[in-house]
Copies of this chain bind each other. A is one copy, B any other.
Amino acid sequence: MSAEQLNNQGQLRHLISLADLPRSQIEKIIERAAHYSRPIGQPPPRDTILRGNTVANLFFEASTRTRASFELAAKRLGADVLNLDVNMSSRTKGESLLDTIYTLQAMQIDIFVVRDASTGVPLRITKHVAPHVSVLNAGESDVSHPTQGLLDVMTIQRNKGEVGALCIAIVGDIKHSRVARSAYEALTKLGVGELRLVAPEELLPEEGFPEARSYSRLSEGIRDVDVVMALRIQKERFAELGEIPDPQEYFRRYGLTEERMQLAKPEAIVMHPGPMNRGVEIDGALADGPRSVIQQQVTNGVAIRMAVLALVHEHVVAGLGTAR
């Protein structure tokens, strides 16, 4: 089952996964996001395009950062925002999920922003909402986090230019990472020059990354790359990693440091989706240093979410005619 993310005029309606989103849509979102992007210290961009619309942040999995990013994006476009942190046990979720959606839709929610720790919920919702309603995936299990993938690509492009000429390494727990998956989907769509996955054997994915090459040694994986994307590693993983029993050993083998970054290209940048484990997957000095574009990622994240909200709103307007 795949999502019909575009309406029949080819406009973005839902954003569930980058896997089957056309390259032109990815480019369009990033282009629109550029319009909403300002350097820190300048006032955030504002628009009134969503005035009169209501965005519901329906978070089945807690997230301060992503919720804040979507909330600010919606408010800066003039929307009313409803935050709903819903704690549904998996036993009852099946029966009550759709009733929750129908109820909120009947309150004239136009856009659902959905985050969930299991797989399939955002897509399932798209099958049941009214034609004018949009669903945005704000993080889904280890499968998809499309706005993260888009903000990562946007950040790479703004710092290093088009991805076709770049060699990019993703370092860390790729196997369990929706961030890695969405980045892979966006980068391959845009014709990335070379893509490397760098992780201990146990954390390399078994499938789903056919165009990438795997490395289990950090020094080889990041040699001569233009971009290093670090991933967060959950503390729970160390129980499963034979030779890496603790964060200290992980840092010793896979932790990114300024010194190790000497192996990469001279102007190589470092990224991290946050929240960081400083001293585990990345050294604090590197995270705060000149190679780091980590805060730019956050700023671009709000811009990407504004762009997606604005674009799906165009679907709504087109679908309902001038009355809307």
Query: Which chain A residues have a beta carbon within 8 Å of chain B's beta carbons?
Result: 38, 40-44, 46, 52-54, 64-65, 68-69, 71-72, 75-76, 80, 82, 84, 86, 95-96, 99-100, 102-108, 110, 130-132, 274-276, 278-279, 294-299, 301-302, 320, 323-324
Contact = CB atoms under 8 A, between A and B. Distances in A.
A279 B96 CA distance: 12
Contacts of A69: 107
Nearest to A75: B80
Given A72-B80, A103-B274, A52 B46 contact: yes
Contacts of A298: 102-103, 106-107
B107 A72 contact: yes
Nearest to A95: B278
Given A52-B46, A275-B96, A275-B99, A40 B299 contact: no
Given A72-B80, A95-B278, 6 more contacts: A40-B106, A43-B108, A69-B107, A102-B294, A106-B295, A107-B302
Contacts of A103: 65, 274-275, 295, 298
A26 to B, nearest CB: 23
10 shortest interchain CB distances as A-B pairs: A106-B298, A44-B108, A106-B295, A106-B299, A75-B80, A103-B298, A41-B132, A43-B52, A107-B302, A72-B107
Nearest to A83: B83
A177 B95 CA distance: 23
A88 to B, nearest CB: 10
Nearest to A44: B108
Contact of A324 (B42, B99, B276): B42
Contacts of A131: 41
Contacts of A53: 43
6 contacts: A44-B108, A65-B103, A68-B84, A68-B107, A95-B279, A102-B294
A323 B72 contact: no
Contacts of A82: 68, 71-72
Contact of A54 (B40, B44, B80, B301): B44
A274 B99 contact: yes
Nearest to A102: B295
A50 B281 CA distance: 39
Nearest to A81: B75
A41 B296 contact: no
A315 to B, nearest CB: 13
Contacts of A99: 274-276, 278
A13 to B, nearest CB: 14
Q: Which of the listed residues A41, A71, A96, A274 has the most CB atoms from chain B within 10 Å of its own CB?
A: A41
A315 B95 CA distance: 43
A41 B320 contact: yes
Given A41-B132, A53-B43, A274-B99, A296 B80 contact: no
A64 B84 contact: yes
A274 B301 CA distance: 36
A217 to B, nearest CB: 28
